[in-house]
Amino acid sequence: MQLKNAVCIVTGSASGIGAASAILLAGKGARVVVNYSKSEDAARATQKACEAVGGEALLVRADVAQDADCRRLAQAALDQWGRIDALVNNAGATKFADHADLDALSAEDFQRIYSVNVVGTYQMVRACAPAMKKSGRDAVVNVSSLAGKNGMGSSIAYAASKGALNTMTMSLARVLGPEIRVNAVCPGMVDTKWLREGYGLRYAAIEARYRQGTPLGRPGKPEEVAAVIVWLIEGADLITGDTIMVDSGMHMGLIPRKL
């Protein structure tokens, strides 16, 4: 796909991987819909950063857990630019909870996390698919997680939701081709404000363990994950239904780098 003037929606793009993806797409000439649900100031900063690198950016507040908001978000892109070429489903939710404490998660916690991570992604694809099919060479990238592969991560509910997202990525790829490719990226530990705040005082110890136990010896940066997302949109014409690990090799198991 040629990104010059392509219209790309990036959900949850106020910060972190979403913001980095929006800015990288804009720098390649794409027209980007910057989406947020709560963090308006951060989203406006992303919008300005997109414009600073030469792209066009439209700011739209929407909660992907609400189907009406998903449809409104897709329509905003169509009203502004008349097309949708790429969708990055980055909006996500979790609750940081000790996996061993089975009382730490309620049914409501599960439902809230699934409503964004799984249902929200489905609703966004459904809202955008009719317009995307008209172009014929469009791409969806779902931002999943290593947690969906190894059952770890911020909570059991989060890991389960990302496992479901990986499965749904394959299901959608089957039914939306050949016009739309659907893939997922599975980041490992990524150094973001969101993760630091979520783990709090435990962050330093978790990061040190990650550095010691992965072949590349460090967490990722949002921009590094964004580079893979943009590649899946721009240059991976023969890839669909796949989950790409972006995790410093963590998926091979937590092992000392020097045996």
Query: φ and ψ at 136, to 5 degrees?
Result: 90, -15
Query: φ and ψ at 28, to 5 degrees?
Result: -95, 10
Across the strands, what pairs with 32? 8, 57
Q: What is the dihedral of CA 62, 64, 68, 74, to 10 degrees?
A: 70
* Active-site residue flag, 36: no
- Prior bond to 178 cis, omega within 30? yes
Alpha-carbon gap, residue 13 to 89, rounded angstroms: 9
Alpha-carbon radius of gyration of the chain: 17
Residue with tokens 């857990």: 65
113 contacts: CB under 8 Å, gap ≥ 6:
93, 94, 95, 155, 157, 158, 161
Selecting among 36, 114, 122, 158, the annotated active-site residue is: 158
Neighbours of 243 (CB within 10 A): 20
Query: What do you get for the CA distance between the two ends of the chain, in Å?
Result: 44
Catalytic residue annotation: 158
